[in-house]
Chains A and B, each alone.
Chain A
């Protein structure tokens, strides 16, 4: 199982743009996690004309330090693992969907048909991937919204669900897209 995930990661991140996407998603989620508990302050910061844009950006940057102040080493570790897993999850999903769409086009399928095929429950080869990934991302979002409660147990569950999601997509990515000699 781990070998499958490593193989899928190697295939996907061989193209630098997927690495960049993972980094972007992870960074975005990290910032959201940090700023989420301070939404009212951020709202005040951006609606009050007393602040210049330079000041706003400076305060935003400074707010990164709140991660150090408002969290324990364990919760920070969980948060970092979560955002990295979420970034990897999104990259793998995008890679997989792009490949499926490309093959679908070569087979003459319509875009709509391909997307329906990807989501459809009856599709034996690919159906569960999209829903599982959304499930995984939902878990992340759920965790992020629960961050102020500092419920570490939710973080651990989210990591588990994202790991399941990554494993399932990896299996799909490493499928050889071939008719096997022995069915």
Chain B
């Protein structure tokens, strides 16, 4: 038997732009009603809080090594580049400012978000997608359990708690790696680095970093759950839901990053 038989056909272009727009609007409508269902289900804490606790552990602890690794490499690369580019024309302490600015405002939250899109978003999309196509979601309804309470809210709330904590640790890891590389490569003293860091740092920047983490976490978990719950059509449907989770969550994360950074300019 030829392996070609197992390659799904390319998506049909019949209907083109109109069909795709209709499908996108339908997905937005479904996501809106899912968000409303989540709000209504919030009062049932007794049902979802124990499950949310398990998700905090799963999202937070299990993602920590990869999140720290990526944040530290980002901080180290920024330090290396800043040292190379600026220190011949500017005072060395500027490296501390640049690393504080870039890690806290962008690299910490964004690298954490991108890691979690791949690690958590794809998994949620695939898990719920597989449950949808094997009728497990419908089975949950027939035994009187609301999928929003038992599947969606624990994941979204787990991400809401775990991701800001991960971002805080990523910020610390990125700063630490940036400082270590600056000491070796620029070169700069610890007190010069601290002067530069203090010159830029304000508590609002740290809050914004954590707020970004919360927004990214909720977006990733919610979008992945919404895509998974709408999956149809067997293994190909699960694949589409997973891809959709990653693509849409990445785009939404980037747009919200832009908007939140704009907030920094207005209020910071």
A and B associate in one complex: no
Residues of A within 8 A of B (CB): none
